[in-house]
Amino acid sequence: MRKILVVDDDDRLRALLAEYLGERGFAVEAVADGEAGLERVKTDHFDLVVLDVMLPGRDGFQVCREIRTHSMVPVLMLTARGDETDRIVGLEIGADDYLGKPFNPRELLARVHAILRRVEHEAAKPGEVLRAGPVVVDPEQRTATMDGAPLDLTSTEFDILRSLVENAGRVIPREKLMGMARGEAWASFDRSVDVHISHLRRKLGDDPKTPALIKTVRGIGYIMPRERGPER
């Protein structure tokens, strides 16, 4: 049985999610603050963490950062904030998805299933290493290197890079790229993918004005050549 940890200070919402997800075959544990959530992640195995942003003490962003220092457990963040910047921050620090409050429990369930399907897909390819020119991605270990040097990537950056390398030589539309990385279709107006690409280029040492590794196809999306492009 899949185990889900819910971290939210709203007593009513915690009870609702525990009941709703529990009735759908998940073993659910719920805690009211970030410190308790961090302790449970460190001492037990969970298949997914549902994490509220607005928590007493450490907020959800701080908790997610701390989780990522020692665990790659998938994190779905809940936020009552409508600011797109806050949502992008959550993804940049390692969250796997976000969902705004109030939400329909069915949508949360769909996102949970999408994240878990993605994790299963990665686990189904043990030992397969992906390569595109100087970039090497190991999906099983969730590590990536550039010319042999390890890359320090957030969870979202890793998933986007993995998708680009896996489809090297093919143009991937923006919304499809986020869907491949996040396990669901993203609205075409969501520009967070451009932010992640910018960060990836910086970490790869790719000149944003004349990129050789992650090229922009104007009005469509991005492509990673199979081999390193010519130096300019």
**Is residue 232's pLDDT more than 50?**
no
Give the residue range(s) of CATH 3.40.50.2300 domains in the chain.
3-123
Q: Could you report the per-residue pLDDT of 10-58, keeping only the tens digit for each?
A: 999 999 999 999 999 999 999 999 999 999 999 999 999 999 999 998 9
The CATH fold of domain 130-223? Arc Repressor Mutant, subunit A (1.10.10)
Distance of CA 77 to the CA centre of its chain: 10
Regarding beta strands 221-223 and 172-173, do their DSSP bridges make them parallel or antiparallel, or are they unpaired?
Answer: antiparallel
Which amino acid makes up residue 228?
Answer: R
Residue 120's pLDDT is 74
Greater confidence (70 vs 90) lies with 70
Assess contact for 11 and 55: CB atoms under 8 A.
Answer: no
Is the Cβ–Cβ distance between 20 and 109 less than 8 Å?
A: yes
Which residues are 31's β-sheet partners?
A: 7
Q: Give residue 201's pLDDT.
A: 95
Find out whether the peptide bond into 102 is cis, omega within 30 degrees of 0: yes
**CATH 3.40.50.1220 matches 3-123:** no
Of 24 and 227, the structure prediction assigns the larger pLDDT to 24
pLDDT of residue 92 exceeding 50, the answer is yes
Answer whether residue 76 shows pLDDT above 90.
Answer: yes
Q: How far apart are CA 21 and CA 107, in angstroms?
A: 12
Sheet holding 48-52, edge to edge: 27-31, 3-7, 48-52, 75-79, 97-100
Which residues in the chain are classed under CATH 1.10.10.10?
130-223
Gyration radius from the chain CA atoms: 18
Q: What is the pLDDT of residue 2?
A: 92
Contact criterion met (CB below 8 Å) for 130 and 136: yes
